[in-house]
A and B are shown apart, each in its own frame.
Chain A
């Protein structure tokens, strides 16, 4: 079936360090891929998305490239800030799914220290 697997957290980094959060997926066809972020005490917000192979989503300094050959959508940021501390969720929407249902990974908690 369809599934999303993320690297386990928590991830702890110093400010200005490089961030990678790995995400791999299992799906038939060509799903759309998303990264959502959840700040403490809040709901999820869309961070970026990619809808087809080799697309790169980017927002707020974060990037992720849809790699069909490796079924991956790793999240990267060149220089993290304390304000980036949050939980990050990778998600997919199945190809042909008109209902809009998302399948989420288990989330990766990021903690950035000054």
Chain B
């Protein structure tokens, strides 16, 4: 059973607000990821981390930022939300190793008005 949590599950917010999407895992995984999922379902990697104090940009450019101060916690922040940020955000983690699976959280559905 995977133990990876995301809060909030749903967020509706006005333009210009600062928001932080939380992601936590209790499996002790070093690697963590953030994906943005289009309404058309396609997933795009926007950030990843190989461990504490390690963060990298993903394949899709994003105005969001991330931090990794603790192994279990990988929050994503938008300083000023815009309607174009409306999407589903999925967090995942994995153990080291070429073929180890990624475990996904339930996602946060963000709507910016």
Interface of A toward B, CB cutoff 8 Å: 32, 34, 36, 38, 41-46, 49, 51, 87, 89, 93, 97-107, 109
Q: A50 — nearest CB in chain B belongs to which residue?
A: B99
In the complex the two chains form, is A43's CB within 8 Å of B99's CB?
Answer: no
- Kindly identify, within residues 42 to 84 of chain B, every residue whose CB is under 8 Å from any CB belonging to chain A: 42-43, 45, 48, 50, 58-59
Residue in B closest to A107 when the chains form the complex, CB atoms: B41
Interface size class for chain B?
Answer: 20 to 34
> How far is A106 from B96 in the complex, measured between Cα atoms in Å?
26
Knowing that A49-B101, A102-B102 touch, tell me 19 more A-B residue pairs with CB under 8 angstroms.
Answer: A41-B106, A43-B92, A43-B105, A43-B107, A45-B104, A46-B103, A51-B99, A93-B98, A97-B98, A99-B50, A100-B31, A100-B33, A100-B100, A100-B102, A101-B59, A104-B43, A106-B40, A106-B41, A107-B42
B4–chain A nearest beta-carbon distance, Å: 8
Q: Is B94 an interface residue (CB 8 A)?
A: yes
Point out which of A43, A100, A104 has the most chain B C-beta atoms below 10 A from its C-beta: A100
Closest chain A residue to B50, Cβ basis: A99
The reply to whether the CB of B90 lies closer than 8 angstroms to some CB of chain A is yes
Contact A43 B104 (CB under 8 A): yes
B33 contacts A101, CB within 8 Å?
yes
Closest to B38 in A: A106
CB-nearest residue of chain A to B9: A41
Closest to A98 in B: B98
Q: A41-B106, A43-B106, A44-B104 are in contact. Are A104 and B42 (CB under 8 A)?
A: yes
Q: How far in angstroms is the closest Cβ of chain A from B113?
A: 22
Chain A residues with Cβ below 8 Å from B92 are: 43-44
